[in-house]
Chain A
Amino acid sequence: ELKVEQNPLFLSMQEGKNYTIYCNYSTTSDRLYWYRQDPGKSLESLFVLLSNGAVKQEGRLMASLDTKARLSTLHITAAVHDLSATYFCAVDLSQGGSEKLVFGKGTKLTVNP
C-alpha cells in the first residue's frame, strides 16, 4: 500500500524566514502535485511535477521532485503572512488509463508577523 508522508505536519514560522516541507512516498511514481488549501476552501493547484529532477518556482515557493529518492520538497523563501495555509503533496498513481491521487496528511503552515 502506498504511503505518502509529509513533514512537518505543523509549521509555525516568522515572516522573512525560509523553510522546507518534505514529502516522501513509498512506491514508484514520476508524477507529483502540490496543492494549497485555505480553511473551508478547496484545493488550489500549485505545482505539477512530471519527471525526475523537475523543479518549478512560483513567487516565494519552489518545488522539486527526486523520483529515485521518492522525495519531493516545497521550499518557502522569505515567508509572508499570505502563505499561511495547509499544503498537500499528492502522488499520482495513474496507470493503465486509470487516474488516482494519494495525498499526504498535509502541512499546516502559520506565518507570524
Chain B
Amino acid sequence: KAGVTQTPRYLIKTRGQQVTLSCSPISGHRSVSWYQQTPGQGLQFLFEYFSETQRNKGNFPGRFSGRQFSNSRSEMNVSTLELGDSALYLCASSLGDSYYGYTFGSGTRLTVV
C-alpha cells in the first residue's frame, strides 16, 4: 500500500518568489492536511481539505493557499516568499474521520534564501 507522497523533497527559492508543493494521499483517503514545522514554532496547522473543499484554516497569512483536486491530491502554494517561510512542510492524509488517525508524508524541505 503506497504511503503519502510529497514532491519535491527539497526546494531552494529566493525571497519574493512563489512555490507550489504537492501531496498525493493514500488511495481512498479523502482528507489532506498541511503542517509547517520550524525549530522555533514547532508543528503548526496550515489547512485541511476534504472532497476539494477547504474545511479548516490555520493562522497563516493569505500568502499561503492550497487546493485539492478531484483525485484527492492536494497542492499548497506560498507566494512572495520570505526567509521565515523556510521550513519542513508536511502533509497528512486520512479517511476523513480522524478515528483512524493520520499518515504523514516525508515532507518538503523549503529553504528561502
Residues of A in contact with B (beta carbons under 8 Å apart) = 31, 33, 35, 41-45, 48, 50, 88, 90, 92, 94, 97-106
Contact = CB atoms under 8 A, between A and B. Distances in A.
Contacts of B27: none
B104 A99 contact: no
Given A97-B50, A97-B55, A99-B48, A45 B98 contact: no
Contacts of B33: 99-101
A101 to B, nearest CB: 6
A28 B45 CA distance: 18
Given A97-B50, A98-B48, A42 B98 contact: no
Given A97-B50, A100-B48, A42 B101 contact: no
A99 B103 CA distance: 13
Contacts of B55: 97-99
Contacts of A33: 101-102
B42 A105 contact: yes
Contacts of A100: 33, 45, 48, 56, 58
